[in-house]
Amino acid sequence: MAQRPDTVTEGLEVTREVRIEASPETVFPFFTEPNKLMRWMGVEAELDPQPGGIYRVHVSKDWVACGEFVTVEPFVRVAFTWGWENNVMQLPPGASLIEVTLTPDGDATVVTLRHSRLPDEESVASHTDGWEHFLARLSVAAAGGDPGPDPWASGGTQ
């Protein structure tokens, strides 16, 4: 049964949680091995899962997420920095932090993904084009261009 991930949002970070009917040993490589990562995100991935190693994923043709691994603790946690290469949404490569924690729960694993160090109101306000930029991206998508990441085009990459 598919279940919606729980929603917890606090301040300038995003925390998502999902329970997966699989062991942490099965789930973990989906964050560190390109072939497995691409089964749920992206069309191309370059991963060097060790502290300081590269994390670069073509989420779609034009959207490239880039950062580096910070923590790699097999089957327990993995953390990496994250941003967009073309600096959309005021989020340049490596700007934000993603921490993934795997917690065993019986035969299942609870995956908690925390996306923090997101830009605050002040830093966005200092970029007067912030909102307009975001709007422009939406417009491109609406006009039939590559809409970028999956949320705008459910059902995978284009």
Partner 1 sequence: MEAALKAIAEPRRRAILQLVHHAERTAGDIAEHFEVTRPAVSQHLRVLKEAGLVTERRDGTRRWYRARPETIRDLQRFLEDFWDEGLERLKAAAEWEERRKRRGAKT
Query: Does residue 45 contact residue 39 with C-beta atoms inside 8 Å?
Result: no
Q: With respect to partner 1, which residue has the nearer C-beta, 52 or 157?
A: 157
Taking CB under 8 A as the rule, does residue 40 contact partner 1?
yes
Out of 5, 51, 74, 145, point to the residue binding partner 1 (CB under 8 A): 5
Out of 46, 86, 105, 131, point to the residue binding partner 1 (CB under 8 A): 131
What's the CA gap between 150 and 109, in Å, rounded? 24
For the chain, helix (H) and strand (E) counts, in that order, are 5, 8
Which region among 48-56, 66-74, 143-151 touches partner 1 (by CB under 8 A)?
143-151
Any idea which residue has 């502290």 for tokens? 51
Q: Would you give the end-to-end CA distance of the chain in angstroms?
A: 27
Q: How many of the chain's residues bind partner 1 (CB under 8 A)?
A: 49
Out of 94, 115, 117, 158, point to the residue binding partner 1 (CB under 8 A): 115
Q: How far is the CB of 149 from partner 1 (least distance, A)?
A: 5
Taking CB under 8 A as the rule, does residue 126 contact partner 1?
no
Q: With respect to partner 1, which residue has the nearer C-beta, 51 or 127?
A: 127
Measured at the CA of 63, the angle between CA 58 and CA 67, to 5 degrees, comes to 65
- Is the four-CA dihedral 78, 81, 132, 10 of positive or negative sign? positive
Give me the half-sphere count of Cα atoms (radius 13 Å) on the Cβ side of residue 155. 2
What's the CA gap between 81 and 68, in Å, rounded? 5
Name the residues that contact partner 1, by CB under 8 A. Answer: 2, 4-5, 7, 9, 12, 14, 16, 18-23, 26-27, 30, 36, 39-41, 89-91, 109, 111, 113, 115, 118-121, 124, 130-132, 134-135, 138-139, 141-143, 147, 149-152, 154
